[in-house]
Structure 1
Amino acid sequence: MDEDLKRGGAPGGGGTAVRSRAEPRAAGTPKAVAIVWALLGLNTLGSAGAKTIVPLPRSLIQMVTMGALAAAFALALTLNLRLRVRPSAFVFLLTLLLVPSVISSADLESGFGALFRCARLALFVGTLWLLTRWWDGGLTFVRHHIRMYFAALGTAAAGLVISPGAAMPETYGGRLVGALWPLTPPQIGQYAAVITGLTVLLVMGGRTTGGSAAAVIVPSLVLLALTHTRTATVGLLAGLALAIGSLVLTSAAARRFFTWAVLVCAVAAVGFASALQAWFLRGQSRENFTSLTGRAKVWDALLAAPRTTAEQVFGTGLGDKSFGGLPIDNSWLAVYNEQGLIGLTLVAAFVVVLAGVALLRPPSLPRACAIFLISYVAISSYTEAGLGDASPYLLHLALAASLLAAPAAAVQGTRPAVPQPRIPRWARR
């Protein structure tokens, strides 16, 4: 699979590299950049989740994840010693987000952990700045993203094989969790949905073989189904619809895929309506389903809580994305609670900027991948937190920003031609 993704072979083409005219070559990207990206992903795996087969102390997990972030920054700095960075509105706005985060965390209302999270966010943003040197609108980082999260799903699959009872505990309603590494069902569902969507776009654009794509898509969809994660499923379907829709006018493969997808969805909706409804409800009552599994009660309490002017503007400091001991599970409310109205404005700004740039770009496979990622994150932000702190969602958006970056040649421009003196016609004879 890795070799096919790396070669960019077309389906049935025997591994022959296929590149569109608009896609720049990524030959200048060091292989170690993939390690940096994987370390960033490891840092965002988190330390809270289900009980693992071999108990892992939370302090040990935090040491591994934070060590991964420090190693990612150090390696990126080694690769980019001259600190060559490219302009990025997304990373710039993310850097500005540090300001309300530090101001609100400085009074230690949320404890020393708030300042620790600020330092983590600063390292995360600093590493992204160092990586912008290789953001050229190509698909190199897409392949890194798929391999990284496919490896994370591999740990969940291995845990399911080793101990099915630990991997699908009753405490989570029989949903799939990480039995080797403490991954929650929403995390597994998110990783499965994202790499499934990206792989579908790659195979549709002729950037990998059908066999390699199936090796990623089939197990990912199985794991997604076992997690019963509704947000990831809706995000996958809606994101793919928008991404493929952006290619319909210019790609025959996109038109064929879109037609078949509509037919399959129509047949599934008619023939498996009751099964799909039972899967979505997950055994919950309709009242619990409409209240988003109790999330709405936490949201109402958060909005009704009294706040000082400083807390409204700057927030209460970076925390664990909870309110009253319960998870907030909404990126926008979590940002408002921890980073205030300023943080909320900055997060909305970089999402809108990415979406606007994606809409203005001409149709292409990198643009379609970026649209999928932005759409997925926007949908997930309603029931998942993470847009205001180092998280997989910010990593997805960073990947989208790399896909929307202009090629290096377009930014640097070609060397202007030296004007030649005009030679009279009689002198040329």
Structure 2
Amino acid sequence: MGGELRRGGPTEGSVTTETRPAAPPGLVGTVWGLLILNTLGSAGAKTIVPLPRSLIQLVTMGSLVTAFALALTLNPRLRVRSGALLSLLTLLLVSSVISSAHLEAGFGALFRCFRLALFVGTLWLLSRWWGGLALVRPHIRMYFAVLGSVAVGLAVSPGAALPGLYGGRLVGAVWPLTPPQIGQYAAVIIGLTVLLVLGRRTDRTSALVVIVPSLVLLALTHTRTATLGLLIGLALAIGSLVLTSPAARRLFTWTVPCAAVAAVVFSSALQTWFLRGQSKENFSNLTGRAKVWDALLAAPRTTGEQVFGVGLGDKSFGGLPIDNSWLAIYNEQGLVGIALVAALMLVLAGVALLRPPSLERACAIFLISYCAIASYTEAGLGDASPYLLHLALAASLLAAPAEAAPLAVPRGPRRRVPRWAEDVR
């Protein structure tokens, strides 16, 4: 009877356990989905039905404000769980405000700081429910819904979904999405779904419904970064489960030799897909990215710009996309920003390595490794983006589930209990 309340109520000085009120899982998932919607962006290919950029920005920014308001409603007492990721993101926000205050990047920099503040604030409010796989399913479902819109666009208007402007690569024809975005979303949900199957947290039929269409869309995007991130991330994640999961051992045993044979048999087709019709010179300079990187590094900067950057911008330099997270952070948030984001990645990786083998740890390893690989050719680690959401999901997977907090009952008059009642107890 030690954990139960005795008849007549608690006595003086007794301590009972109060379970923290849990938010409805659907509402927490809704907030997470709204954050994902906010990070879809407004740039991309032409859609079947022309959407004004102002309308797209209204939807994305409105989703962020709604997410923050709903999270605040779920957590009105502002009970949060501190962690390295959220603390470092807060410091990154502060440094971004300092760099943007000079208005070198215009008033848009301050607006982007406000957006980042709402983004980080919403993550703080949701941190109360971090722990376990609670956010993995909303993550998969929302991105699968986004990929569903891509598939609809492909079915309705193949010409708009595979435009010549992008070299015949798949784009979003319903919502403006670029091939790297689609490839990223497909690779992430494929990896997480495979791990859920290995951990027996979902059935194979449901998994195939997600994996097969996503693989097709990933192949149509011809996105090399997403493909390599998926393969390497899954190899590391499954490798972390080999010692404790028979299913992971079987998959690892069969996948490695089969992949080697397939690489030899289909080497010509794989090379053609990987090159995407580019010349070796164009491939060697990463489709022109290296030229932008060299120009960015060669540009003169003041000491303040080197330390704090020029303020949050659109991740471009000279009108061309930077397409490298570390150089984009250096340009906009300086060496301070690079140090904070590098510390964030290292802390997450270190915590993941120190955790005992588990499905949560494997999912976190996959997300961290994927973001690390993608950071070389994609920007976004220093601002509100899908990559920060992937890392936040990894942090939630590595967090210990919140335990019930002991609640001391207020002191009150102690009732005298008859001796016969004590004997019965």
Q: Contact (CA 8 Å) 2:367, 2:391: kept in 1 or not?
A: yes
1:325 maps to what in 2? 319
The residue matched to 1:284 in structure 2 has which SS?
coil
- 1:87-166 equivalences in 2 (<5 Å): 87-136=82-131, 138-166=132-160
Alignment partner, residue 41 of structure 1: 36
* Contact 1:104/1:339, CA 8 A, preserved across alignment: yes
Matched residue, 1:82: 77
> CA 1:414/1:294 → structure 2, altered by over 3 Å: closer, same or farther?
farther
Instruction: Report if the CA contact (8 A) 1:90-1:350 is conserved.
Output: yes
Partner of 1:345: 339
Equivalent AA in structure 2 for residue 50 of structure 1:
A
Taking the aligned partners of 1:75 and 1:29, their CA distance within structure 2 comes to 11
Greater Cα shift, 102-111 or 353-362: 102-111
Over residues 120-144 of structure 1, what are the superposed CA-to-partner deviations in whole Å (9 max), with x where a residue is unaligned?
00000000000000002x1110001
Deviation at 1:290, TM superposition (A): 1.1
| Corresponding residue for residue 384 of structure 1 | 378
Structure 2: distance between partners of 1:65 and 1:266? 43
Q: 258, 279, 282: which is aligned to 1:285?
A: 279
Alignment partners' CA distance in 2, 1:44 and 1:281: 29
Distance 1:96 1:359, change over 3 A: same
Q: Cα 1:315–1:399, aligned 2, differ >3 Å: closer, same or farther?
A: same
Q: 3-state SS of the aligned residue for 1:39? A: helix
Q: Is contact 2:23-2:74 (8 Å) kept?
A: no
Counterpart selection for 1:32 from 11, 14, 27? 27
* Residue 51 (structure 1) aligned with residue 46 (structure 2): yes
- The whole-number CA distance in structure 1 between the counterparts of 2:264 and 2:388 is 37
1:333 Cα offset (Å): 0.3
Q: Give, in whole Å, the separation in 1 of the partners of 2:390 and 2:359.
A: 16
Describe the superposition over 1:257-292 as per-residue Cα deviations: whole angstroms up to 9, x where unpaired: 111211221121111000000000000001111111
Matches within 5 A, 1:27-426: 28-30=22-24, 31-136=26-131, 138-409=132-403
Structure 1 or 2, whichever has the larger Rg, is: 2
- Please list every run of 5 or more consecutive structure 2 residues that lacks an aligned counterpart in the other structure: 1-18, 409-425
Matched residues in 1 for 2:385 and 2:151: separation? 22
Distance in 2 (CA, whole Å) between partners of 1:26 and 1:176 is: 46
Q: Runs of 4 or more off by more than 2 Å in structure 1?
A: 25-29, 411-415
Task: Out of 31-40 and 257-266, give the one that drifted further.
Answer: 257-266
Is the 1:177–1:188 contact (alpha carbons within 8 Å) kept by the matching residues of 2? yes
**Partners of 2:240 and 2:136 in 1: CA distance:** 18
- The alpha carbon displacement at 1:28 in A equals 3.2
Kept in 1, the 8 Å contact 2:180–2:221? The answer is yes
Q: 1: CA distance between counterparts of 2:20 and 2:241?
A: 23
* Structure 1 residues not aligned, in runs of 5+: 1-24, 416-429
Which has the higher relative contact order, 1 or 2, with Cα contacts under 8 A spaced 6 or more apart?
2
For the residue of structure 2 that corresponds to 1:408, the secondary structure is coil
Once the two structures are superposed, residues 193-237 of structure 1 have per-residue CA deviations (whole angstroms, 9 ceiling, x without a partner) of 000000000001100000000000000000000000000000000
TM-aligned CA distance change 1:203 to 1:407, over 3 Å: same
Task: State the Cα RMSD in Å.
Answer: 1.5
SS state of the match for residue 317, structure 1?
Answer: coil
Partners of 1:52 and 1:166 within 8 A in 2: yes
| Cα drift, residue 413 of structure 1 | 8.1
Q: Distance in 2 between matches of 1:364 and 1:99?
A: 35
Aligned residue pairs total 389
Task: Provide the rounded CA distance (Å) in 2 between the counterparts of 1:51 and 1:265.
Answer: 37
Secondary structure of the corresponding residue to residue 89 of structure 2: helix
Distance in 2, Cα, partners of 1:26 & 1:395: 25
- Asked if the contact 2:323–2:377 (Cα under 8 Å) also holds between the matched residues in 1, the reply is yes
Q: Whole-Å Cα distance in 2 between the matches of residues 125 and 134 of structure 1?
A: 15
Give 1:98's aligned amino acid. Answer: L
